[in-house]
Structures are given as structure tokens and as C-alpha cells.
Amino acid sequence: MSSKRILIVMIAVLVALTAAISFAADPPAKDKKSDAVAEKAPRLTIVEPVKDYGTIPKGEKLDWSFVVKNTGDADLQIIAAKPGCGCTVADFDKVIKPGESGKVTAHVDTTAFAGPIAKSVTLETNDPTTPTSQLTIHAIVKPYVEAFPAGFVRFNLLQGDADSQTVTIYSDEDDPFQVTSVETPAPEPGKDPWIKASFEKITNEGDLAPNVGKPGQNQYKVKITVGGPDARVGPLAEHVRIVTNSKHQPEYLVSIAGVIRPPFRVEPSALNFGEVTPADVAATRMVVLHSNNMKTPESFVVSKAESSSSAIVTSVKPGANKGEYEVTLQIAKDAKPGDLDGTVKIFTNDKVFPIVTVPMKATIKAPPKSAAK
């Protein structure tokens, strides 16, 4: 009886071992199919990774569509197209099916370049073998119209002042060169132009810029004037457009940089005494005016200050530094309690802002009875 039981157990073990070996040798069809699917992947192939334009005129705008193919067997995704310095990406196909082609369009503005350039776009894709690839545009940028000593002018002015600078425009064209017009930024509505430009052909050989442009070619002086009472305060970032007869480079931009500062600073620009009695320390406040003229700050003068309310007494005295004035505002000792909402006018010798108006507020309280006695 025991021998039969042993035999039955041995047969069961043998059957189990046979099934396990068979399963390991021949896995289910579902797993084989999963492995086949997992092997599929996209593959990025760039038809022409480098585009060479050769020699081009400065200012020309380059647009090129790079053709990219998906030679894999899964969807190719272009995750990003990151331009290098001076190059921008106009558009790109985000998904490319297996066996199909797509495009990445790059754009380069050569206005700011001269000489050999190489501008690139880096592609990021889901290609597992090449997750990043590079597209490149090559060119040699030739300036047919240029400025001497440079294509920009810089100004550092106080509002109300004006200054002029000149540049010489020359050309490498074979045909006789001409400047036909100059265009300046339009002024704000109701204001006079504060950027002006004029041009004239150089007739005196001694005034020609040396060793530039084609020998014997015409040169032009362009005079640029910036400033005046309507000049906009702040950093300068403008252009003067010079129109020429050049067939390669019909226009040239002269950049205007620098800054226009207000003639003086007022600190603070408004006053609020808060709740005070005439005897409080806070009943006396000060407005300080500082000249922004770094060359002759002493030329700035504050002559007087006038309050719109008899409850405020004013006085003016020079400050510790040149071109600095202190205007003291004090609540009068006989000022009546109540709210005050007025202004103080400060008179200066500035030609743009001869009078400065500073708003002021206060709530004047009656002094304590003990103090009144």
C-alpha cells in the first residue's frame, strides 16, 4: 500500500517537471508579440543637414526648410527645435509617420552680421539612437553699404538738450552709389520730432573716409541730431533708415543708443504728513532736488517755493552737494485743525521744467490742551 502511494507521488512530480520545462522552452504567443512591438522605433534621417548660401548681401533674410525623414517603423516626434544665436525657427512638423518626410524651417536675418556665419538649430526627437541632431546654415555676409566709423551713434543727454553726430556712408557697389533719402522715427502725436537726420554728398576729397569702400565711389555724410524738449526720457534704442540705390543693399540702418535723463530729480515726488499737530517733529518735512547735470551741476538753481495753503510754510536753501537744494515744508503753528490737500510749487531755472508741483496731504490735529496753555 505504501509502495503504491510512493509511485503515485513520483508520477505527479514527473508530470509537473515536464510541464515546467515545456513552458520555459515555448513561452506564450502573447509574450512573443509584445517583444516584437517593443522593437519598433523611429529613426531620424536628415537629407541635407548643412545649407551653404555662399556670399550674400548684408541684410538679406535667409529662409531654408530642412527635410527630415522617418526611416524607422514608429512615429517620429520632434520635441523641440532650439535655435542658436542669430537664428530662429519659423516652423517644424511635430510628428512624422514611418516612411514619410517632414520639414524644419529656419530663418536668419543677416542685418547684424558681416563675414562668415554659421547658424544652427538643434533638434530634440524621440529617436532612441540619436535623440539630438543639428541643422546648420552657412553664409558669407558681404556689406555692400556700410558706415564709418561705425553703424551706430551714442548719446548721453539731459532732457531739453540736443547733440549731433555724423557718420559717413560708403559702398562696394560697381555702379555709382547714391543716398536717396533718410527716414527717422515718427514723433508722438502732438509733439515735435526729437530725432532728425540729413545727408549730403561729400565733394571735398579730404573729407572722404579713408581706405573704405570701392575706390572712386561716392560717399555721403549723414548728420543725426537727437534731443529737445519733446525727447523721450529713458534708454535710447532707435534707428535712422538710410535709403540708397544699391541693388544688393538698398537700405542701411544706423542704430541710435544711449540715454536721455531728466534734468533733475525730486525726492520725494509727493508728501503726506499723516496725522500731526503743528508742534510734532513730523510736522516738518523736506523735498530735495538734485541736478542730473554731471558736468556743471551748479548751473541748476532753485529760487523759491510757494504753498497753495497758508497752513504750510516753505523755505529753500542749497544742499550739501553742488546742484542740490532742500525745500522745507512746515505746518504753521497757527494752522487750524482739519484735512489739508494741496500742492507746493518749486521754481527752478530749468528750461524744460521751470516749475515743479509736489502734491501734499495732512490731517492737522489740535495740540493737547496742556500744550495749548
69-113: pLDDT as tens digits: 999 999 999 999 988 876 677 689 999 999 999 999 999 988 888
pLDDT value of position 16:
56
pLDDT value of position 373:
46
Closest of 113, 153, 89 to residue 249, by C-alpha: 113
Question: What's the whole-number average pLDDT of the chain?
Answer: 89
294-331: pLDDT as tens digits: 999 999 999 999 999 999 999 999 999 999 999 999 99
Cell of 211: 581706405
**Predicted TM-score (pTM) of this structure:** 0.69
Closest of 320, 264, 314 to residue 289, by C-alpha: 264
143-178: pLDDT as tens digits: 999 999 999 999 999 999 999 999 999 999 999 999
Radius of gyration, CA atoms only, the chain: 39
Which pairing describes strands 152-158 and 251-261: parallel, antiparallel, or unpaired?
parallel
pLDDT value of position 359:
97
Q: Phi and psi (nearest 5°) for 12?
A: -65, -45
Could you tell me which residues are beta bridge partners of residue 305? 346
- 3-class secondary structure, 328: strand
| Length in residues, the chain | 373
pLDDT value of position 162:
95
203-246: pLDDT as tens digits: 999 999 999 999 999 999 999 999 998 899 999 999 999 999 99
The two counts, helices (H) then strands (E), for the chain are 3, 25
Higher-confidence position of 150 and 20: 150
